[in-house]
Amino acid sequence: MPERSEPMVLERPTTAPAKVKSGARSGRPAEAGRRRPGARGRAGQGVLVAALSGMVLVALFPYLFMFMTSFKTNEEFNTNYWVPTWPLHLSNYGTAWEQIQPYFITSILVAAVSIVGTVGLSTIAGFLFARYEFAGRRLLYGMVVMLMMVPPVASLIPLFVLMRDLNLLNTLTVLILPHIAGSVVLATILIRTFVEQIPQELFDAARIDGAGGPRLFRSIVLPLSLPVIGTVSLLTVINVWNDFFWPLLVITENDLRTIPVGLSFFKGQNVTQWGPLFAGYTLASLPLLLLFTFLSKHFLAGMQGGLPGSGK
| Whole-number Å distance between alpha carbons of 242 and 32 | 56
For residues 180 and 214, the answer to whether their CB atoms sit within 8 Å is no
In contact, 179 and 113? CB cutoff 8 Å:
no
CB 121 within 8 A of CB 180: yes
Reported as type and span, the H/E element at residue 37 is helix 2-69
Contact 312, 133 (CB under 8 A): no
Task: Evaluate whether 67 touches 283 at the Cβ level (below 8 Å).
Answer: no
Asked if residue 179 lies in contact with residue 243, where contact means CB atoms within 8 angstroms, the answer is yes
Q: Residue-wise over 273-285: b if at least 16 C-beta within 10 A, else e?
A: bbbbbbbbbbbbe
**Positive or negative, the Cα torsion across 216, 222, 223, 227?**
positive
Print pLDDT tens along the chain (312 aa).
Answer: 444 444 444 444 444 444 444 444 444 554 444 455 566 777 778 888 888 888 988 888 888 888 998 898 888 888 888 888 888 888 889 888 988 898 999 999 999 999 999 999 999 999 999 988 888 889 999 999 898 888 888 888 999 999 999 999 999 999 999 999 989 999 999 899 989 888 889 898 989 888 888 899 998 999 988 888 888 888 899 899 989 999 999 998 888 899 988 888 776 655 567 888 888 889 988 888 888 777 777 666 666 654 444 434
Whether pTM > 0.85 for this model: the answer is no
pLDDT at 4: 41
pLDDT of residue 299: 67
Rounded to a whole number of angstroms, the distance between the first and last alpha carbons of the chain is: 69
